[in-house]
Amino acid sequence: MLAKVLSCGVVGLDGVPITVEVDFSPHAGKPEFTIVGLPGSAVKESRERVRSAIKNSGLQFPLKRYTVNLAPADIPKDGPAYDLSVAIGVLAATDQAPLDALGDAMFMGELSLDGQLRHIKGVISCTYAAQQQGLSTVFVPEIDAAEAALIPDIDVIPVRTLGDLIEHLYGLRIIPAYRRDGQAARPDEGALLQGLIDFAEIKGQEHVKRALEVAAAGAHNVLMSGPPGSGKTLMARALPGILPAMTLDEALEVTRIYSVADLLPGDSPLLRARPFRAPHHTISQAGLVGGGRIPRPGEVTLANGGVLFLDEFGEFGRAALEVMRQPMEDKRVTISRANGTLTFPANFMLVAAMNPCPCGYYGDPTHECSCSPGLIRRYQQSISGPLLDRIDIHVEVPRVDYDKLTGTATAESSGAIRARVETARERQRRRFAGHPALRANADMGPGDIRQYCHLTPEAESLIKVTLRQMQLSARAYHRVLKLGLTIADLAMSEKVDVVHLAEAIQYRPRRMAL
């Protein structure tokens, strides 16, 4: 007897419907359980999990011949998420599950040997694929039901054990669909900011805080350079406190990435805080941009919609940093392997911090530098020019004076800065209302800049002079204009005036004379 059950695999970040076909041959001589259709190791091992789960659920597993085909056969299948669909197919093929209840539903889940369902990754992508296929129901492990329920207009059935599911299919004991309460879609501002460093606690460095405010308002890249202990890392880790809240679409996109990477926290199905990733400088190229035999998201994708913080920027391997150039420009990363090409989103804010030299004290007025000129030059040149050209804001972070460090005056709070950033981002949302790919000023291309970035006559004169004197590249020219537009948004100005453009220009890098 032949049974067909619909399941789902994950390719990149997308769910791909997979039809599980189970053929039961009761009259074959030799008992055998064969799985075909490019199964990976975890899929092949499902034979033992399925057999034990069926027996330990009080059901029958006749020792006959089974052939399981995972169609389409040209897509590699990996992971244990096919266990449940294979088990239901076996039970339907042996007349232990109703075939008529399987046609309009998708089954996903890993089986334990006693028949309980375990967590799987990529549930939200698979549920979305089921919705796009026009299916009415998905059966998922009970622990993953809240995540699956983020996709609207489809019934999510939380399954605890295989035995419970069979009783449900026969109508003996119905499992109620997961009830959406809508709370996950409404972010709790207090919870988002809890545990973050407040800018009010950071003494001095007002010009650096201003640079970070501009960066947050337009999603611009930042490089902070200064001696050890000047507060670079502290301010970078305070940056999430002034970032605007994610829209629901952004939150769903980030949640989908973390679901596929199996990094979702167990207490919250929907990620509402913007990602903040801070990998160590020993990270590999594959860890940074993604890779592997079956490509997985890297740090640039995990930071999508948020911040990628690279501390000790000069200590990262040059090859690892150079692979970031294309994702920083295109807002996505493409990984090619022998069995296919996958594209992951990579729309992140790069925030980097580095010392001016190996000892960290070059240019410090109170601490003598012990590095030779050649060593300083090599250290500063470890970051390539094309990569530096893609960073909008370059800001020097000097040592904090004793008087400011021990003073009792409090600085402006993160909440006050965040309010200005939210206002600027709201202006940008209205500006780009007809362009869903544009979420902030940093996302604009040359054509968008010509359309939206309007300069006053004085600002046009300034940018012409600057272009000749600073010998800006075309990329640097466009980045100055985007930065000027963000500063104008913070000032609630309809046009980019000369004062806005002057501030944007002073954020361009300056090579220190040796």
* Domain boundary residue, one of 411, 435, 459: 435
Instruction: Indicate if 164 and 209 belong to the same structural domain.
Output: no
How far apart CA 306 and CA 23 sit, in angstroms, is 48
Q: What is the pLDDT of residue 188?
A: 52
SS (H, E, C) 109-159: CEECCCCEEECCCCHHHHHHHHHHCCCCEEEEEHHHHHHHCCCCCCEEEEE
Residues of the chain with pLDDT under 50: 512-514
Tell whether 507 is covered by a domain: no
Instruction: Indicate if 226 and 163 belong to the same structural domain.
Output: no
Q: What is the pLDDT of residue 513?
A: 42
Residue 55 φ then ψ, to 5°: -65, -45
Instruction: Indicate if 163 and 206 belong to the same structural domain.
Output: no
Q: What is the pTM of this model?
A: 0.90
Q: What is the pLDDT of residue 159?
A: 97
Instruction: Indicate if 425 and 331 belong to the same structural domain.
Output: yes
Return the number of other C-beta atoms located less than 10 Å from residue 419's C-beta. Answer: 13
Q: What is the pLDDT of residue 510?
A: 67
Tell whether 501 is covered by a domain: no
Domain that holds residue 294: 200-435
Instruction: Indicate if 136 and 228 belong to the same structural domain.
Output: no
Tell whether 56 is covered by a domain: yes
Tell whether 18 is covered by a domain: yes
* Domain boundary residue, one of 169, 184, 219: 169
Tell whether 111 is covered by a domain: yes
Q: What is the pLDDT of residue 295?
A: 84
Measure Cα distances from 325 to 278, 294, 300, 335 in Å. 18, 23, 11, 14
Q: How many domains does the chain have?
A: 2
* Domain boundary residue, one of 435, 458, 482: 435
* Beta-sheet pairing, 332-337 with 340-345: antiparallel
H or E stretch covering 10: strand 2-11
Instruction: Indicate if 163 and 204 belong to the same structural domain.
Output: no
Tell whether 419 is covered by a domain: yes
Instruction: Indicate if 98 and 223 belong to the same structural domain.
Output: no
Q: What is the pLDDT of residue 190?
A: 52
Tell whether 266 is covered by a domain: yes
Q: Are 246 and 277 in contact (CB under 8 A)?
A: no
Tell whether 273 is covered by a domain: yes
Q: What is the pLDDT of residue 113?
A: 96
Q: What is the pLDDT of residue 512?
A: 45
For residue 106, what is the domain's CATH number?
3.30.230.10
Q: What is the pLDDT of residue 187?
A: 52
